[in-house]
Amino acid sequence: MAAVDVQRVNGTSHVGDWPDRYYHVDQVLDRPGPRTDPSFMAGDGVKDFLRNQCKILVIGAGGLGCEILADLALSGFKDIHVIDMDTIDISNLNRQFLFRPKDVGKPKATVAAEYVMKRVPGTKVTPYYGKIQDKDDDYYMQFNLVICGLDSVEARRWINATLVNLVDPENPESLKPLIDGGTEGFKGQARVILPTVTSCYECSLDMLNKPTAFPICTIANTPRLPEHCIEWASVLEWPRVQGDKKMDTDDPEHIQWLYNIASARAKEFKIEGVTWQLTQGVVKNIIPAIASTNAIIAASCCNEAFKIATSSAAYLNNYFMLIGTDGVYSYTFEHEKRSDCPVCGGESLEVSVPRSWTVERLIEMLVEKQDIQIKKPSLSTATAQIYFQAPKQLEEVTRPNLEKLVSDLVPDGGDITVTASSLPFSLSLRITYV
Amino acid sequence: MSFSESQDLETATTAIQSQPDNKTRRYDRQLRLWAASGQSALERARVLVISASALSTSLLKNLVLPGVGHFTILDHHATRPSDIGNNFFLDPDASLGRNRAEEAVRLLGELNDGVEGHADTRDIADVLALGAEYFSGFTLVIAVNLDPSLVEQLSTLLWQDAACPPLIVVRSAGFIAEFFVQFHEHDVIESHSETAPSLRIDKPFPELLDHALQLDLEHMDPTDHGHIPYVVILVRALEDWKREHGGSPPTTTADKRAFKDAVSALQRHQDEENFSEAVANAYRAYTTTGVPSNVQALFDALPDQLSPARPFATLVAALQEFTKQPPYALPLSATLPDMKSDTESYVALQKMYGRRAEKERGVFRELVNKLSAETGSVIARDVVDLFCKNAHGLFGLQGKRWGDLDTSRERLVELLAASPRETATHLALSALSTWLARHSVAHAQSNGSAHPNSQTSNTELRPTEEDLLALVQGALGDGVELGKEVQDAVGEAARAPTADLPNVAAFMGGLVAQEAIKMITKQYVPINGHCVIDLVDTWTGVINA
Ligand SMILES: [Zn+2]
């Protein structure tokens, strides 16, 4: 049977295009709908932009990423870049449909890109096997749109802050719409972020599920749940017994060791329910994931990208969440920008602390507080260093401050600047005492 | 994830002591949702999908990946260039001109070696003429953008015989779409309800009450005092309250506040987190444990005559009998949430709940045995126990036939007022499907193709907005005003009448697969009615006949 021919359409070269290839998509590009903005340029203009000019970046080639790449390619995006730092694991195969058992161990970005290019001819997918932090502003500047399909909060905060910082009011091209998706089991959400214009990822940090954290005294002294025994094995026993050896949660032997230790502890305390899979789930913080939910959320993200790139319909303003556990429930709403957002708000975050708090206690609060969540923060005022996590010498010099009272270092109403190596922005706290 | 889910997984897989096998590792992320029981239901399932459109293969992908047992695609069309343009599971190098079902089955099959795929290249109209037998071999039938007269025939056929599988009807046009799940009854034991079962603090069982009363709160050692589980504190505080109030629990707002203060007064110092928990959970002590509304609805819907054909009803009837006896509540759950305590007190309390739950389960089993004997039902003991364990989250859905919604003008008008955009979108899709069917017949006579998506001269197959508005008006009756929502939905339908957009196909493929998994595993709660979506404004909604 003959392969479909590469054709020339309207005198422009569309590598891989054939008559009727875009029969479906063109129906919404050839004419507006009742709710389409009047500025929509139906027909060849918009098709040319979508297929020949628009450059889109996909962050993540996992559960959402595989779906996103396929959807974008079929929608007619021809210049797609994808970044992912992971390699393929067997547990990816129940949903990451561009991978096969023979691909286990290979980089996700590379395998996904090749597969999509094979199945959707004429699409160029450029993979990068590495971290988003490896790339600079010039790299991100080249794209028209960015779609994020990540499971890491840290990485999303990084790309969000990077794209907000990229905005130059003098240059409209510098505003890169960021579309972000996430799933957990039968639930998920998709959102459109116009950096500096709409609410950003950081603005909504308090909407995240609170990570399950067990107090160390429970783990050490009064375990009640199998999870407590597993945490005891991984947090306390591993460093005590294994010393400096790094725990690798992808190594089955390490999980086996933790499982054995946790089981022994559970037996000692007559606690039931420690299993291999629960051990793995707790130490890797596994979130259940299925193909269908990823398909919904990825499609929603790509649909917004398609609408933004073509103006064929209004795009999402700005948050869509879906719950599929009990019927199909969804909620579309506008998430409000926070004026004290450390990334896009400009105002300091008001924090009131007891006068009795030490610097160490304040740091503990910054790590835990739902709308801040900064791991390893470094603190300073306009005139003095309070505590720095790195470099080593600076840490040693500032360490004695940990035990000092915040109120001895910062006046009432004074500002503290918080930075962390994982985040490309600083947080300004206005301290008041209670 | 919540740890209650992981505990469910644990109970299903207690035998695993070393690294799981490859299959368990492959399905790990979904086993944490529906456990081994859901997985085996999925692996036994046989799904029929009618048409190999982009939407069809998108949804099948989401069933093949998690390991559905068998799927058949029924489609007699040859692959056209436009099909390859929007369908990831047709091959640009090989599929053109070949049968769509065969090509899609081949490429979907690559996703999972453990799944059996079959292509049926007959015309659906011919298969329908053979009767219900063919369809009764499947667990679930899904019809995607099928001609309305064929959907009518298919839904009637499957509705008539209770042995026939449920049917999901899917329609889409450009940015709008909907699906409907047709079933007679759908019973859910494992709904994975996020509402925790009652701890019955207001109706403590004897052992718990004795334990709480024996505590010498005043003279207790400080360490022990700081470790009494809040459940025990509340049972005790409530009992003390009742003794001082003529046996009545707190009822008025003032009472409740006073009770809370009384609990608070027991706290020796602020560091006693167990007492802080007791104060925060004080409402549990004065909230009467009864039958939850979802379970009451099941009692209310019980048939006069129990039949061995539906063991679920027998179980529900036994449960109702159970709740007619003191303490007029569901069987106690053995699951105790975590609470501030020391290991010993917590484990002791857990064991106490476990013993009581076991006892009540025994009473429930007796009731089931008695009723089963009367009705001639045979119900496996593990089913009885599963039912008992999940009693607080039971659901029983009474389904409707496809098309019921459209037979009542009154209901449509009512729905249009109550859920304007959802109903308008449903009406626009109905009007479009009627229009396409009429015109494709005329088209076929001159063209030799009966498929509404036939693209040999696709520009001819486009209704005007007026065409569709007239059909919507006809469905609602004259005099009903067609508002902006109808204009918007009809406008989108007329704009892209035969467009199966890749993103909409993927979105619908995901939604329909979620429902298919819920129907097949009988876990979680599927929709009952029409689920309507609009991807211009990005929303979903459910309407019911
Ligand atoms: Zn912000």
Q: What percent of chain B has pLDDT over 90?
A: 89
Nearest chain B Cα distance for residue A209, angstroms:
9
The pLDDT assigned to B457 comes to 43
Contacts of A24 in chain B (CB under 8 A): 54, 82, 85-86, 496, 498-502
The 10s digit of each residue's pLDDT in B277-306 is 999 999 999 999 999 999 999 999 999 999
Contacts of B230 in chain A (CB under 8 A): none
Interface pTM, i.e. ipTM: 0.93
Contacts of A326 in chain B (CB under 8 A): 191, 193, 524-525
Q: What percent of chain A has pLDDT over 70?
A: 96
Which residue, A56, A148, A129, A63, is CA-closest to A98?
Answer: A63
* CB atoms closer than 10 angstroms to residue B104: 32
Query: Under a CB-based contact definition with an 8 Å cutoff, are residues A278 and A230 in contact?
Result: yes
Judged against a pLDDT cut of 50, whether residue A2 lies above it is answered with no
What is the average pLDDT score of chain A?
A: 92
Which residue, B57, B536, B132, is CA-closest to A40?
Answer: B536
Mean pLDDT lowest for which of A215-219, B53-57, B324-328, B383-387?
Answer: A215-219
Judged against a pLDDT cut of 60, whether residue B500 lies above it is answered with yes
Omega prior to A285 cis, within 30 of 0: no
User: Which residue type occupies B398?
Assistant: Q
pLDDT higher for B108 or A3?
Answer: B108
What is the band of B347 on the pLDDT scale with cuts at 50, 70, 90? Answer: very high
Judged against a pLDDT cut of 50, whether residue B506 lies above it is answered with yes
**Residue ranges of E strands in B469-536:** 530-534
Mean pLDDT of B369-398: 95
Count of helices and strands (H, E) across chain A: 15, 15
What is the band of B460 on the pLDDT scale with cuts at 50, 70, 90? Answer: low
Judged against a pLDDT cut of 70, whether residue A10 lies above it is answered with no
What is the average pLDDT score of chain B?
A: 92
Sign of the C-alpha dihedral, residues B236, B240, B246, B249?
A: negative
Burial grade of B109 (CB within 10 A; 0-12, 13-18, 19 or more)? middle
Mean pLDDT of A306-312: 97
The 10s digit of each residue's pLDDT in A63-74 is 999 999 999 999
Judged against a pLDDT cut of 70, whether residue A4 lies above it is answered with no
Nearest to A20 among B17, B80, B524 (CB): B80
The 10s digit of each residue's pLDDT in B195-227 is 999 999 999 999 999 999 999 999 999 999 999
Mean pLDDT of B436-454: 57
The pLDDT assigned to A208 comes to 80
Nearest chain B Cα distance for residue A164, angstroms:
25
The 10s digit of each residue's pLDDT in A166-189 is 999 999 999 999 999 999 999 999
Judged against a pLDDT cut of 70, whether residue B467 lies above it is answered with yes
Determine the distance separating the centroid of ligand 1 and the alpha carbon of A192, expressed in angstroms.
13
Q: Tell me, what DSSP letter sits at residue B290?
A: -
The pLDDT assigned to A15 comes to 52
Judged against a pLDDT cut of 90, whether residue B486 lies above it is answered with yes
The 10s digit of each residue's pLDDT in B25-57 is 999 999 999 999 999 999 999 999 999 999 999
- This prediction has a pTM of 0.93
Judged against a pLDDT cut of 70, whether residue B2 lies above it is answered with no
Nearest to B81 among A20, A70, A287 (CB): A20
The pLDDT assigned to B161 comes to 86
User: What token pair was written down for B19?
Assistant: 């690294």
The pLDDT assigned to B441 comes to 61
The pLDDT assigned to A126 comes to 98
The 10s digit of each residue's pLDDT in A247-273 is 999 999 999 999 999 999 999 999 999
The 10s digit of each residue's pLDDT in A189-224 is 999 999 999 999 999 998 887 767 788 999 999 999
Strand-pairing partners, residue B71, are B47, B117
Determine the distance separating the centroid of ligand 1 and the alpha carbon of A183, expressed in angstroms.
21
What is the band of B420 on the pLDDT scale with cuts at 50, 70, 90? Answer: very high
Mean pLDDT of A57-86: 98
Q: What percent of chain B has pLDDT over 70?
A: 93
User: What token pair was written down for B57?
Assistant: 């293969």
Q: Cβ of B19 and A1 within 8 Å?
A: no
Determine the distance separating the centroid of ligand 1 and the alpha carbon of A179, expressed in angstroms.
14
The pLDDT assigned to A12 comes to 42
What is the band of A333 on the pLDDT scale with cuts at 50, 70, 90? Answer: very high
Note the residue count of chain B.
545
Mean pLDDT of B165-187: 97
Query: Under a CB-based contact definition with an 8 Å cutoff, are residues B38 and B225 in contact?
Result: no
Q: What is the Cα–Cα distance from A417 to A429, expressed in whole angstroms?
A: 6
What is the band of A16 on the pLDDT scale with cuts at 50, 70, 90? Answer: low
Q: Cβ of B514 and A293 within 8 Å?
A: yes
The pLDDT assigned to A5 comes to 47
Mean pLDDT of B500-518: 98
The pLDDT assigned to B443 comes to 52
The pLDDT assigned to B442 comes to 57
Determine the distance separating the centroid of ligand 1 and the alpha carbon of A59, expressed in angstroms.
20
